[in-house]
Amino acid sequence: MTFLSLIIISSYAHLYMYFNMENSHHYGQRSVRFLNFIHELV
């Protein structure tokens, strides 16, 4: 992966986590799956 794509993914992950703080009860499990997916990509 290029450095730029890592920046884009990490920025998206931060936005996603912020969104999940607002809706943590409903989306908490999805955020964990999403972060695991990011970890697999990196």
pLDDT at 10: 84
Task: Output the CA–CA distances (angstroms, integers) from residue 27 to 2, 6, 7, 9, 31, in the order listed.
Answer: 29, 23, 23, 19, 6
Reported pTM = 0.40
| Residue in the structure block whose two tokens are 């972060």 | 35
Q: What is the pLDDT of residues 1-42, one digit of tens each?
A: 688 888 888 888 887 777 766 665 555 566 677 777 877 876
Task: Give residue 35's pLDDT.
Answer: 75
- 28 CB-near residues (< 8 Å, 6+ apart): 20
